[in-house]
A and B are shown apart, each in its own frame.
Chain A
Amino acid sequence: MNRLIDRIAENAASYPGKTAVIYGGEHISYADLLGRIDVESAAIMQAEGYAKGSGIVVQNTQNADFIVRYFAIHKAGCVAVPVEKDIPDARLEQISRIVAAENFSDEIADVLFTTGTTGVSKGVMISHRTIVANAENLADAQGFAADVVFIVNGPLNHIGSLSKIYPTLLMGGTLYIIDGMKDMNQFFGALDYPCDKMATFLVPASIRMLVQFSAERLASYARKIDFIETGAAPITQADMEKLCELLPHSRLYNTYASTETGIIATHNYNSDVCVAGCLGKAMKHSKFFITDEGSVACSGDTLMSGYIGDSEMTARVMRNGVIYTADCGRIDECGRLHLTGRADDIINVGGFKVAPSEVEDAAMAFDGIADCICIAAKHPVLGTVTKLLYVASDGCEIDLKALASFLKSKLEAYKVPMFYSREEKIQRTYNGKLNRKYYL
Protein backbone atom coordinates (compact mmCIF):
# COMPACT_ATOMS: atom_id res chain seq x y z
CA MET A 1 0.00 0.00 0.00
CA ASN A 2 1.16 3.52 -0.80
CA ARG A 3 1.24 5.40 2.53
CA LEU A 4 2.69 8.83 3.21
CA ILE A 5 4.32 7.60 6.42
CA ASP A 6 6.41 5.17 4.33
CA ARG A 7 7.50 8.04 2.06
CA ILE A 8 8.53 10.03 5.15
CA ALA A 9 10.61 7.03 6.27
CA GLU A 10 12.30 7.00 2.83
CA ASN A 11 13.09 10.72 3.22
CA ALA A 12 14.52 10.07 6.70
CA ALA A 13 16.84 7.46 5.19
CA SER A 14 17.86 9.66 2.24
CA TYR A 15 18.55 12.89 4.17
CA PRO A 16 18.29 12.22 7.91
CA GLY A 17 19.70 15.56 9.02
CA LYS A 18 17.39 17.73 6.93
CA THR A 19 14.91 19.80 8.96
CA ALA A 20 11.39 18.44 8.66
CA VAL A 21 9.47 20.52 11.21
CA ILE A 22 10.10 23.83 12.97
CA TYR A 23 7.97 25.01 15.86
CA GLY A 24 8.74 27.62 18.51
CA GLY A 25 12.49 27.49 18.00
CA GLU A 26 12.59 23.69 17.94
CA HIS A 27 14.04 22.14 14.77
CA ILE A 28 13.22 18.49 14.14
CA SER A 29 15.15 16.61 11.47
CA TYR A 30 13.60 13.90 9.30
CA ALA A 31 15.51 11.25 11.29
CA ASP A 32 14.27 12.70 14.61
CA LEU A 33 10.72 13.00 13.30
CA LEU A 34 10.70 9.37 12.22
CA GLY A 35 12.31 8.34 15.55
CA ARG A 36 9.58 10.14 17.52
CA ILE A 37 6.88 8.63 15.28
CA ASP A 38 8.36 5.14 15.89
CA VAL A 39 8.37 5.61 19.68
CA GLU A 40 4.78 6.93 19.67
CA SER A 41 3.63 4.19 17.33
CA ALA A 42 5.16 1.50 19.58
CA ALA A 43 3.35 3.04 22.57
CA ILE A 44 0.03 2.94 20.66
CA MET A 45 0.57 -0.73 19.79
CA GLN A 46 1.37 -1.62 23.40
CA ALA A 47 -1.59 0.29 24.84
CA GLU A 48 -4.47 -1.63 26.33
CA GLY A 49 -7.27 -2.23 23.87
CA TYR A 50 -5.06 -1.70 20.82
CA ALA A 51 -6.47 -3.20 17.67
CA LYS A 52 -5.39 -2.70 14.07
CA GLY A 53 -7.97 -0.71 12.15
CA SER A 54 -9.35 1.09 15.20
CA GLY A 55 -9.91 4.85 15.17
CA ILE A 56 -7.85 7.05 17.51
CA VAL A 57 -8.89 10.62 18.23
CA VAL A 58 -5.97 13.06 18.05
CA GLN A 59 -6.60 16.55 19.40
CA ASN A 60 -4.77 19.37 17.68
CA THR A 61 -1.90 20.80 19.72
CA GLN A 62 -0.72 23.03 16.83
CA ASN A 63 2.87 21.85 17.16
CA ALA A 64 5.12 18.94 16.16
CA ASP A 65 3.47 16.65 18.75
CA PHE A 66 0.31 16.57 16.63
CA ILE A 67 2.26 15.58 13.51
CA VAL A 68 4.14 12.87 15.41
CA ARG A 69 0.94 11.43 16.89
CA TYR A 70 -0.94 11.67 13.55
CA PHE A 71 1.65 9.66 11.61
CA ALA A 72 2.28 7.28 14.55
CA ILE A 73 -1.40 6.30 14.38
CA HIS A 74 -0.96 5.49 10.67
CA LYS A 75 2.24 3.59 11.36
CA ALA A 76 0.45 1.51 14.01
CA GLY A 77 -2.12 0.51 11.39
CA CYS A 78 -4.86 2.62 12.99
CA VAL A 79 -7.08 5.45 11.75
CA ALA A 80 -6.37 9.05 12.82
CA VAL A 81 -9.35 11.19 13.81
CA PRO A 82 -8.02 14.76 14.12
CA VAL A 83 -10.17 17.20 16.09
CA GLU A 84 -9.99 20.88 17.08
CA LYS A 85 -7.86 22.15 19.95
CA ASP A 86 -10.90 23.74 21.61
CA ILE A 87 -13.51 21.12 20.77
CA PRO A 88 -16.41 21.11 23.29
CA ASP A 89 -16.34 18.04 25.59
CA ALA A 90 -19.76 16.84 24.47
CA ARG A 91 -18.68 16.92 20.82
CA LEU A 92 -15.45 15.07 21.62
CA GLU A 93 -17.40 12.34 23.41
CA GLN A 94 -19.84 12.09 20.51
CA ILE A 95 -17.02 11.72 17.97
CA SER A 96 -15.22 9.16 20.15
CA ARG A 97 -18.41 7.09 20.35
CA ILE A 98 -18.99 7.22 16.58
CA VAL A 99 -15.41 6.19 15.84
CA ALA A 100 -15.32 3.43 18.48
CA ALA A 101 -18.31 1.74 16.86
CA GLU A 102 -16.53 1.40 13.52
CA ASN A 103 -14.16 -1.28 12.27
CA PHE A 104 -12.04 0.27 9.50
CA SER A 105 -10.45 -1.49 6.54
CA ASP A 106 -6.67 -1.09 6.27
CA GLU A 107 -7.09 1.34 3.35
CA ILE A 108 -8.58 4.01 5.62
CA ALA A 109 -6.12 6.52 7.09
CA ASP A 110 -8.24 9.31 8.59
CA VAL A 111 -11.72 10.34 9.58
CA LEU A 112 -12.16 14.11 9.29
CA PHE A 113 -15.27 15.61 10.84
CA THR A 114 -16.73 18.42 8.74
CA THR A 115 -19.99 20.11 7.87
CA GLY A 116 -19.06 19.49 4.26
CA THR A 117 -21.41 19.20 1.33
CA THR A 118 -24.35 17.74 3.26
CA GLY A 119 -24.95 20.47 5.85
CA VAL A 120 -24.77 17.93 8.68
CA SER A 121 -21.58 17.25 10.61
CA LYS A 122 -20.22 13.98 9.23
CA GLY A 123 -17.09 11.88 9.56
CA VAL A 124 -15.36 11.81 6.19
CA MET A 125 -13.23 8.69 5.66
CA ILE A 126 -9.96 9.35 3.82
CA SER A 127 -7.76 6.58 2.46
CA HIS A 128 -3.95 6.38 2.39
CA ARG A 129 -4.16 6.45 -1.42
CA THR A 130 -6.15 9.71 -1.23
CA ILE A 131 -3.56 11.34 1.03
CA VAL A 132 -0.73 10.48 -1.37
CA ALA A 133 -2.82 11.61 -4.38
CA ASN A 134 -3.51 14.97 -2.65
CA ALA A 135 0.20 15.33 -1.90
CA GLU A 136 1.22 14.55 -5.49
CA ASN A 137 -1.47 16.85 -6.90
CA LEU A 138 -0.12 19.81 -4.93
CA ALA A 139 3.56 18.97 -5.39
CA ASP A 140 3.07 18.68 -9.16
CA ALA A 141 0.83 21.72 -9.66
CA GLN A 142 2.32 24.21 -7.21
CA GLY A 143 5.97 23.24 -6.96
CA PHE A 144 6.36 21.95 -3.40
CA ALA A 145 10.03 20.91 -3.26
CA ALA A 146 12.83 19.90 -0.87
CA ASP A 147 14.16 23.48 -0.71
CA VAL A 148 10.78 25.05 0.17
CA VAL A 149 9.96 26.00 3.78
CA PHE A 150 6.19 25.99 4.11
CA ILE A 151 4.54 28.05 6.87
CA VAL A 152 1.45 26.32 8.24
CA ASN A 153 -0.69 28.80 10.18
CA GLY A 154 -4.14 27.21 10.18
CA PRO A 155 -5.43 24.52 12.53
CA LEU A 156 -3.52 21.31 11.79
CA ASN A 157 -6.63 19.13 12.16
CA HIS A 158 -8.39 20.88 9.26
CA ILE A 159 -7.97 19.68 5.66
CA GLY A 160 -6.65 23.15 4.67
CA SER A 161 -3.49 22.63 6.77
CA LEU A 162 -3.31 18.84 6.78
CA SER A 163 -3.18 18.92 3.00
CA LYS A 164 -0.05 21.13 3.14
CA ILE A 165 1.71 18.78 5.54
CA TYR A 166 1.35 16.06 2.90
CA PRO A 167 3.24 17.56 -0.09
CA THR A 168 5.82 19.25 2.14
CA LEU A 169 6.87 16.00 3.83
CA LEU A 170 6.42 13.97 0.62
CA MET A 171 8.96 16.18 -1.17
CA GLY A 172 11.40 16.43 1.75
CA GLY A 173 10.61 20.08 2.43
CA THR A 174 10.35 21.85 5.78
CA LEU A 175 7.16 22.64 7.72
CA TYR A 176 7.22 25.79 9.83
CA ILE A 177 4.26 25.68 12.23
CA ILE A 178 2.81 28.84 13.78
CA ASP A 179 -0.29 29.17 15.91
CA GLY A 180 -2.70 31.12 13.73
CA MET A 181 -2.46 34.58 12.18
CA LYS A 182 -3.47 36.58 15.26
CA ASP A 183 0.08 37.55 16.06
CA MET A 184 1.50 38.84 12.80
CA ASN A 185 4.91 39.21 14.39
CA GLN A 186 4.99 35.41 14.58
CA PHE A 187 4.13 35.18 10.87
CA PHE A 188 6.81 37.67 9.85
CA GLY A 189 9.21 35.97 12.25
CA ALA A 190 8.62 32.77 10.28
CA LEU A 191 9.26 34.62 6.99
CA ASP A 192 12.61 35.75 8.43
CA TYR A 193 13.75 32.12 8.61
CA PRO A 194 17.06 31.88 6.73
CA CYS A 195 16.28 30.09 3.46
CA ASP A 196 15.75 30.95 -0.21
CA LYS A 197 12.17 29.83 -0.76
CA MET A 198 9.15 30.15 1.49
CA ALA A 199 5.54 29.36 0.85
CA THR A 200 2.30 29.40 2.78
CA PHE A 201 -1.44 28.96 2.66
CA LEU A 202 -3.57 31.95 3.67
CA VAL A 203 -7.34 32.11 3.89
CA PRO A 204 -8.77 35.20 2.11
CA ALA A 205 -9.40 36.98 5.46
CA SER A 206 -5.68 36.71 6.29
CA ILE A 207 -4.75 38.07 2.85
CA ARG A 208 -7.12 40.98 3.43
CA MET A 209 -5.46 41.66 6.78
CA LEU A 210 -1.98 41.54 5.25
CA VAL A 211 -2.71 43.79 2.25
CA GLN A 212 -4.56 46.27 4.45
CA PHE A 213 -2.30 46.41 7.51
CA SER A 214 1.10 45.06 6.40
CA ALA A 215 1.45 45.72 2.67
CA GLU A 216 4.92 47.25 2.84
CA ARG A 217 6.29 44.60 5.19
CA LEU A 218 4.90 41.78 3.05
CA ALA A 219 6.39 43.32 -0.11
CA SER A 220 9.82 43.30 1.54
CA TYR A 221 9.73 39.47 1.27
CA ALA A 222 8.83 39.53 -2.44
CA ARG A 223 12.03 37.75 -3.57
CA LYS A 224 11.76 35.09 -0.92
CA ILE A 225 8.11 34.09 -1.18
CA ASP A 226 8.00 31.29 -3.74
CA PHE A 227 4.24 30.85 -3.63
CA ILE A 228 1.11 31.54 -1.62
CA GLU A 229 -1.98 29.44 -1.94
CA THR A 230 -5.43 30.56 -1.00
CA GLY A 231 -8.77 28.84 -1.17
CA ALA A 232 -11.56 27.61 1.06
CA ALA A 233 -13.52 30.86 0.63
CA PRO A 234 -13.88 33.42 -2.17
CA ILE A 235 -11.09 36.01 -2.42
CA THR A 236 -11.99 39.40 -3.85
CA GLN A 237 -10.66 40.69 -7.17
CA ALA A 238 -9.16 43.74 -5.42
CA ASP A 239 -7.19 41.61 -2.93
CA MET A 240 -5.91 39.34 -5.70
CA GLU A 241 -4.68 42.33 -7.72
CA LYS A 242 -3.10 43.95 -4.68
CA LEU A 243 -1.26 40.74 -3.77
CA CYS A 244 0.03 40.41 -7.37
CA GLU A 245 1.31 43.99 -7.13
CA LEU A 246 3.05 43.37 -3.78
CA LEU A 247 4.56 40.01 -4.79
CA PRO A 248 5.27 40.26 -8.54
CA HIS A 249 7.68 37.28 -8.59
CA SER A 250 5.60 34.84 -6.53
CA ARG A 251 3.19 32.20 -7.77
CA LEU A 252 -0.22 32.96 -6.27
CA TYR A 253 -2.69 30.11 -6.36
CA ASN A 254 -6.41 29.91 -5.86
CA THR A 255 -7.41 26.30 -5.23
CA TYR A 256 -10.60 24.25 -5.38
CA ALA A 257 -10.74 21.62 -2.66
CA SER A 258 -12.95 20.20 0.06
CA THR A 259 -12.65 17.42 2.62
CA GLU A 260 -14.88 15.16 0.52
CA THR A 261 -13.37 15.84 -2.91
CA GLY A 262 -9.73 16.35 -1.90
CA ILE A 263 -7.53 18.84 -3.78
CA ILE A 264 -9.00 19.13 -7.27
CA ALA A 265 -7.87 22.23 -9.20
CA THR A 266 -5.59 25.24 -8.81
CA HIS A 267 -4.85 28.45 -10.71
CA ASN A 268 -1.86 30.80 -10.59
CA TYR A 269 -3.53 34.20 -10.87
CA ASN A 270 -0.18 35.99 -10.92
CA SER A 271 0.93 34.61 -14.29
CA ASP A 272 -2.28 33.99 -16.13
CA VAL A 273 -5.81 35.31 -15.93
CA CYS A 274 -6.38 37.25 -12.70
CA VAL A 275 -10.10 36.76 -12.23
CA ALA A 276 -11.93 36.16 -8.95
CA GLY A 277 -13.63 32.77 -8.86
CA CYS A 278 -11.20 31.17 -11.36
CA LEU A 279 -9.81 27.99 -9.83
CA GLY A 280 -7.89 26.62 -12.79
CA LYS A 281 -7.52 23.24 -14.37
CA ALA A 282 -7.84 19.82 -12.82
CA MET A 283 -4.69 18.48 -11.17
CA LYS A 284 -3.05 15.24 -12.30
CA HIS A 285 -5.08 12.81 -10.16
CA SER A 286 -8.39 14.68 -10.54
CA LYS A 287 -11.17 15.49 -12.97
CA PHE A 288 -14.22 17.73 -12.79
CA PHE A 289 -17.31 18.44 -14.84
CA ILE A 290 -20.46 20.52 -14.53
CA THR A 291 -23.75 18.69 -14.11
CA ASP A 292 -26.92 19.54 -16.05
CA GLU A 293 -28.08 21.44 -12.94
CA GLY A 294 -24.92 23.58 -13.04
CA SER A 295 -23.12 22.15 -10.02
CA VAL A 296 -19.52 20.92 -9.83
CA ALA A 297 -18.87 17.16 -9.86
CA CYS A 298 -15.43 15.62 -9.22
CA SER A 299 -13.72 12.28 -9.74
CA GLY A 300 -10.26 10.80 -9.30
CA ASP A 301 -7.97 9.40 -6.59
CA THR A 302 -8.43 12.30 -4.17
CA LEU A 303 -12.08 11.57 -3.36
CA MET A 304 -13.15 10.42 0.11
CA SER A 305 -14.01 6.78 0.72
CA GLY A 306 -17.41 7.71 2.21
CA TYR A 307 -19.08 8.99 5.37
CA ILE A 308 -18.50 6.92 8.48
CA GLY A 309 -21.47 4.71 9.34
CA ASP A 310 -23.80 6.37 6.82
CA SER A 311 -23.96 4.66 3.44
CA GLU A 312 -27.21 6.46 2.63
CA MET A 313 -25.65 9.89 3.05
CA THR A 314 -22.59 8.70 1.10
CA ALA A 315 -24.83 7.59 -1.78
CA ARG A 316 -26.51 11.00 -1.80
CA VAL A 317 -23.27 12.80 -2.70
CA MET A 318 -21.11 10.04 -4.23
CA ARG A 319 -22.16 7.70 -7.03
CA ASN A 320 -19.98 5.58 -9.36
CA GLY A 321 -16.78 7.27 -8.28
CA VAL A 322 -18.13 10.82 -8.71
CA ILE A 323 -18.82 13.35 -5.92
CA TYR A 324 -21.64 15.77 -6.67
CA THR A 325 -20.94 18.98 -4.73
CA ALA A 326 -23.30 21.84 -3.83
CA ASP A 327 -20.93 24.34 -5.50
CA CYS A 328 -22.26 25.99 -8.66
CA GLY A 329 -19.76 26.59 -11.42
CA ARG A 330 -18.81 26.72 -15.08
CA ILE A 331 -15.84 25.65 -17.17
CA ASP A 332 -14.31 28.23 -19.52
CA GLU A 333 -12.96 27.69 -23.03
CA CYS A 334 -9.50 26.81 -21.62
CA GLY A 335 -10.87 24.13 -19.29
CA ARG A 336 -10.60 26.26 -16.15
CA LEU A 337 -13.15 25.93 -13.38
CA HIS A 338 -15.00 29.06 -12.20
CA LEU A 339 -17.17 29.00 -9.08
CA THR A 340 -20.34 31.06 -9.07
CA GLY A 341 -22.01 30.23 -5.73
CA ARG A 342 -23.61 27.45 -3.71
CA ALA A 343 -26.83 25.55 -4.18
CA ASP A 344 -27.48 25.03 -0.45
CA ASP A 345 -27.72 26.96 2.84
CA ILE A 346 -24.15 26.35 4.00
CA ILE A 347 -22.31 29.52 5.08
CA ASN A 348 -18.57 29.58 4.41
CA VAL A 349 -16.77 31.46 7.21
CA GLY A 350 -13.12 31.85 6.31
CA GLY A 351 -13.00 28.36 4.84
CA PHE A 352 -15.03 26.68 7.59
CA LYS A 353 -18.44 25.52 6.52
CA VAL A 354 -21.27 26.33 8.91
CA ALA A 355 -24.72 24.76 8.66
CA PRO A 356 -27.06 27.52 9.93
CA SER A 357 -29.56 24.94 11.22
CA GLU A 358 -26.94 23.56 13.62
CA VAL A 359 -26.35 27.05 15.07
CA GLU A 360 -30.11 27.70 15.30
CA ASP A 361 -30.75 24.39 17.08
CA ALA A 362 -28.06 25.23 19.64
CA ALA A 363 -29.36 28.80 20.14
CA MET A 364 -32.96 27.66 20.61
CA ALA A 365 -31.81 25.68 23.65
CA PHE A 366 -30.76 28.93 25.39
CA ASP A 367 -33.26 30.24 27.95
CA GLY A 368 -35.22 33.20 26.61
CA ILE A 369 -34.74 32.60 22.87
CA ALA A 370 -38.18 32.24 21.30
CA ASP A 371 -37.07 32.07 17.67
CA CYS A 372 -33.92 32.66 15.65
CA ILE A 373 -32.19 32.38 12.29
CA CYS A 374 -28.48 32.25 11.49
CA ILE A 375 -27.61 34.23 8.37
CA ALA A 376 -24.49 35.25 6.44
CA ALA A 377 -23.37 38.83 7.09
CA LYS A 378 -20.77 40.86 5.22
CA HIS A 379 -17.78 42.17 7.10
CA PRO A 380 -15.53 44.71 5.35
CA VAL A 381 -12.32 42.90 6.27
CA LEU A 382 -13.29 39.38 7.12
CA GLY A 383 -15.59 38.67 4.18
CA THR A 384 -18.47 36.46 5.24
CA VAL A 385 -19.27 36.02 8.93
CA THR A 386 -22.40 34.71 10.65
CA LYS A 387 -25.07 36.71 12.41
CA LEU A 388 -27.81 35.43 14.69
CA LEU A 389 -31.14 37.20 14.45
CA TYR A 390 -33.22 36.29 17.50
CA VAL A 391 -36.59 36.94 19.05
CA ALA A 392 -36.61 37.02 22.86
CA SER A 393 -39.39 35.41 24.88
CA ASP A 394 -41.83 37.87 26.50
CA GLY A 395 -40.12 39.95 29.16
CA CYS A 396 -36.69 38.39 28.56
CA GLU A 397 -33.47 40.33 28.12
CA ILE A 398 -30.82 38.23 26.42
CA ASP A 399 -27.27 38.52 27.77
CA LEU A 400 -25.34 38.24 24.51
CA LYS A 401 -22.06 37.29 26.14
CA ALA A 402 -23.81 34.50 28.05
CA LEU A 403 -25.50 33.37 24.82
CA ALA A 404 -22.16 33.32 22.98
CA SER A 405 -20.51 31.36 25.82
CA PHE A 406 -23.40 28.89 25.78
CA LEU A 407 -23.01 28.43 22.01
CA LYS A 408 -19.26 27.99 22.43
CA SER A 409 -19.90 25.15 24.87
CA LYS A 410 -22.09 23.39 22.30
CA LEU A 411 -20.39 24.18 19.00
CA GLU A 412 -16.91 24.49 17.53
CA ALA A 413 -15.65 28.09 17.91
CA TYR A 414 -15.97 28.95 14.20
CA LYS A 415 -19.68 28.15 14.33
CA VAL A 416 -20.42 30.76 17.03
CA PRO A 417 -21.96 33.84 15.34
CA MET A 418 -19.95 37.05 15.37
CA PHE A 419 -22.95 39.42 15.30
CA TYR A 420 -26.36 39.34 17.06
CA SER A 421 -29.51 41.31 16.45
CA ARG A 422 -32.79 41.30 18.37
CA GLU A 423 -35.80 41.23 16.07
CA GLU A 424 -39.56 41.49 16.53
CA LYS A 425 -40.11 38.39 14.43
CA ILE A 426 -38.24 35.94 12.22
CA GLN A 427 -39.59 35.54 8.68
CA ARG A 428 -40.96 32.10 7.98
CA THR A 429 -42.59 30.61 4.89
CA TYR A 430 -46.29 29.75 4.72
CA ASN A 431 -45.58 26.23 6.00
CA GLY A 432 -43.55 27.49 8.96
CA LYS A 433 -40.01 26.86 7.66
CA LEU A 434 -37.38 29.55 8.09
CA ASN A 435 -37.51 31.86 5.08
CA ARG A 436 -33.79 31.92 4.34
CA LYS A 437 -34.23 33.59 0.95
CA TYR A 438 -35.77 36.63 2.67
CA TYR A 439 -32.45 37.27 4.41
CA LEU A 440 -30.16 36.80 1.38
Chain B
Amino acid sequence: MKEKIVKLLSDALPIVDLDSDFLFSELDSLGVTTILMVLSEEFGIHLESTDATSKNLRNIDSIVKMVEDKLKA
Protein backbone atom coordinates (compact mmCIF):
# COMPACT_ATOMS: atom_id res chain seq x y z
CA MET B 1 0.00 0.00 0.00
CA LYS B 2 2.72 2.46 1.00
CA GLU B 3 4.80 1.78 -2.13
CA LYS B 4 1.74 2.19 -4.32
CA ILE B 5 0.86 5.55 -2.73
CA VAL B 6 4.47 6.77 -2.99
CA LYS B 7 4.50 5.83 -6.68
CA LEU B 8 1.14 7.53 -7.35
CA LEU B 9 2.08 10.72 -5.55
CA SER B 10 5.59 10.85 -7.03
CA ASP B 11 4.07 10.72 -10.51
CA ALA B 12 1.46 13.38 -9.73
CA LEU B 13 3.75 15.70 -7.74
CA PRO B 14 7.28 15.04 -8.99
CA ILE B 15 8.93 17.93 -7.19
CA VAL B 16 7.41 17.38 -3.74
CA ASP B 17 9.66 15.75 -1.12
CA LEU B 18 7.54 12.78 -0.03
CA ASP B 19 10.14 11.81 2.61
CA SER B 20 9.41 14.98 4.52
CA ASP B 21 7.89 14.95 8.00
CA PHE B 22 6.43 18.40 7.30
CA LEU B 23 4.66 17.49 4.08
CA PHE B 24 1.49 19.53 4.67
CA SER B 25 3.41 22.74 5.28
CA GLU B 26 5.47 22.15 2.14
CA LEU B 27 2.41 21.66 -0.09
CA ASP B 28 0.32 24.42 -1.64
CA SER B 29 -3.44 24.20 -2.18
CA LEU B 30 -2.89 22.73 -5.65
CA GLY B 31 -0.70 19.98 -4.19
CA VAL B 32 -3.28 19.17 -1.51
CA THR B 33 -6.03 18.96 -4.14
CA THR B 34 -3.89 16.73 -6.30
CA ILE B 35 -3.29 14.29 -3.42
CA LEU B 36 -7.03 14.12 -2.65
CA MET B 37 -7.85 13.57 -6.30
CA VAL B 38 -5.24 10.86 -6.89
CA LEU B 39 -6.13 8.91 -3.73
CA SER B 40 -9.92 9.11 -4.14
CA GLU B 41 -9.71 7.95 -7.75
CA GLU B 42 -7.21 5.15 -7.17
CA PHE B 43 -8.76 3.67 -4.03
CA GLY B 44 -12.41 4.58 -4.65
CA ILE B 45 -12.60 6.22 -1.22
CA HIS B 46 -14.71 9.21 -0.26
CA LEU B 47 -12.42 12.06 0.70
CA GLU B 48 -13.54 15.50 1.82
CA SER B 49 -11.37 18.57 1.46
CA THR B 50 -11.60 18.82 5.24
CA ASP B 51 -9.66 15.51 5.44
CA ALA B 52 -6.64 17.44 4.18
CA THR B 53 -5.42 18.37 7.65
CA SER B 54 -1.85 18.86 8.82
CA LYS B 55 -2.29 15.66 10.86
CA ASN B 56 -3.48 13.50 7.96
CA LEU B 57 -0.95 14.89 5.49
CA ARG B 58 2.01 15.16 7.88
CA ASN B 59 4.06 12.53 6.05
CA ILE B 60 3.64 9.53 3.80
CA ASP B 61 2.82 7.22 6.74
CA SER B 62 -0.02 9.45 7.92
CA ILE B 63 -1.39 9.50 4.36
CA VAL B 64 -1.28 5.69 4.25
CA LYS B 65 -3.13 5.58 7.58
CA MET B 66 -5.80 7.98 6.30
CA VAL B 67 -6.38 5.80 3.23
CA GLU B 68 -6.51 2.61 5.34
CA ASP B 69 -9.01 4.21 7.74
CA LYS B 70 -11.20 5.33 4.82
CA LEU B 71 -11.08 1.84 3.28
CA LYS B 72 -12.26 0.34 6.58
CA ALA B 73 -15.05 2.89 7.02
Q: Mark the stretch among B1-9, B29-37, B64-72 that contacts chain A.
A: B29-37
Contact with A along B1-39 (1 / 0, CB 8 A): 000000000000111010000001001111011101100
Asked if A420 and B14 make an inter-chain contact with CB atoms under 8 angstroms apart, the answer reads yes
Query: In whole Å, how far is B18's beta carbon from the nearest beta carbon of chain A?
Result: 10
* Interface residue ranges of A166-183 to B (CB < 8 Å): 180-183
Which residue on chain B has the smallest CB distance to residue A421?
Answer: B14
Which chain A residues border B24 with CB–CB below 8 Å? Answer: 182
B54 is an interface residue with CB less than 8 A from chain A:
yes
**A213-B47, A382-B33 known; A184-B15 Cβ under 8 A:** no
Which chain B residues border A213 with CB–CB below 8 Å? Answer: 33, 36, 40, 47-49
Which chain A residues border B49 with CB–CB below 8 Å? Answer: 184, 209-210, 213-214, 217
**A182-B28, A404-B15 known; A381-B33 Cβ under 8 A:** yes
Asked if B48 and A214 make an inter-chain contact with CB atoms under 8 angstroms apart, the answer reads yes
Query: In whole Å, how far is A369's beta carbon from the nearest beta carbon of chain B?
Result: 15
Contact with B along A390-412 (1 / 0, CB 8 A): 00000000001101100000000
A311 is an interface residue with CB less than 8 A from chain B:
no
Asked if A401 and B15 make an inter-chain contact with CB atoms under 8 angstroms apart, the answer reads yes
**A182-B29, A184-B52, A185-B50 known; A401-B17 Cβ under 8 A:** yes
A366 is an interface residue with CB less than 8 A from chain B:
no
Which chain B residues border A400 with CB–CB below 8 Å? Answer: 14-15
Interface residues on B, range: 20 to 34
Query: In whole Å, how far is B53's beta carbon from the nearest beta carbon of chain A?
Result: 7
Asked if B50 and A180 make an inter-chain contact with CB atoms under 8 angstroms apart, the answer reads no
Which chain A residues border B30 with CB–CB below 8 Å? Answer: 205, 350, 382, 385, 418
Which chain B residues border A350 with CB–CB below 8 Å? Answer: 30
Asked if A183 and B15 make an inter-chain contact with CB atoms under 8 angstroms apart, the answer reads no
Which chain B residues border A217 with CB–CB below 8 Å? Answer: 48-50
* Interface residue ranges of A148-191 to B (CB < 8 Å): 180-185, 188
Contact with B along A220-240 (1 / 0, CB 8 A): 000000000000000000000
A413 is an interface residue with CB less than 8 A from chain B:
yes
CA distance A418 to B37 in the complex (A): 16
Asked if B15 and A182 make an inter-chain contact with CB atoms under 8 angstroms apart, the answer reads no
Instruction: Count contacts on A: residues with CB < 8 A to the other chain.
Output: 31
**Contact partner of A206 among B13, B17, B29, B48, CB < 8 A?**
B29
CA distance A382 to B27 in the complex (A): 14
Contact with B along A330-354 (1 / 0, CB 8 A): 0000000000000000000010000
* Interface residue ranges of A363-385 to B (CB < 8 Å): 379-382, 385
Asked if A381 and B50 make an inter-chain contact with CB atoms under 8 angstroms apart, the answer reads no
Which chain A residues border B52 with CB–CB below 8 Å? Answer: 182-184
**Contact partner of B50 among A188, A205, A380, CB < 8 A?**
A188
Which residue on chain B has the smallest CB distance to residue A419?
Answer: B14
Asked if A182 and B36 make an inter-chain contact with CB atoms under 8 angstroms apart, the answer reads no
Asked if B33 and A209 make an inter-chain contact with CB atoms under 8 angstroms apart, the answer reads yes
**A188-B50, A382-B34 known; A420-B15 Cβ under 8 A:** yes
Which residue on chain B has the smallest CB distance to residue A413?
Answer: B28
Query: In whole Å, how far is A423's beta carbon from the nearest beta carbon of chain B?
Result: 15
Asked if A381 and B28 make an inter-chain contact with CB atoms under 8 angstroms apart, the answer reads no
Which residue on chain A has the smallest CB distance to residue B25?
Answer: A182
A212 is an interface residue with CB less than 8 A from chain B:
yes
Asked if B37 and A212 make an inter-chain contact with CB atoms under 8 angstroms apart, the answer reads yes
Which chain B residues border A416 with CB–CB below 8 Å? Answer: 15
Asked if B14 and A183 make an inter-chain contact with CB atoms under 8 angstroms apart, the answer reads no
Which residue on chain A has the smallest CB distance to residue B36?
Answer: A213
Which chain B residues border A382 with CB–CB below 8 Å? Answer: 30, 33-34
Which chain B residues border A404 with CB–CB below 8 Å? Answer: 15
Asked if A381 and B15 make an inter-chain contact with CB atoms under 8 angstroms apart, the answer reads no
Closest 5 CB pairs of A and B: A404-B15, A184-B49, A213-B49, A182-B29, A214-B49
Besides the contacts A184-B52, A217-B49, A385-B30, what 15 more A-B pairs have beta carbons closer than 8 Å? A180-B28, A180-B29, A182-B27, A182-B52, A183-B53, A184-B50, A205-B29, A209-B36, A213-B33, A213-B40, A213-B49, A214-B49, A400-B14, A404-B15, A419-B14
Sampled A-B contacts (7; CB under 8 Å): A184-B48, A213-B47, A213-B49, A217-B48, A385-B30, A401-B14, A418-B15
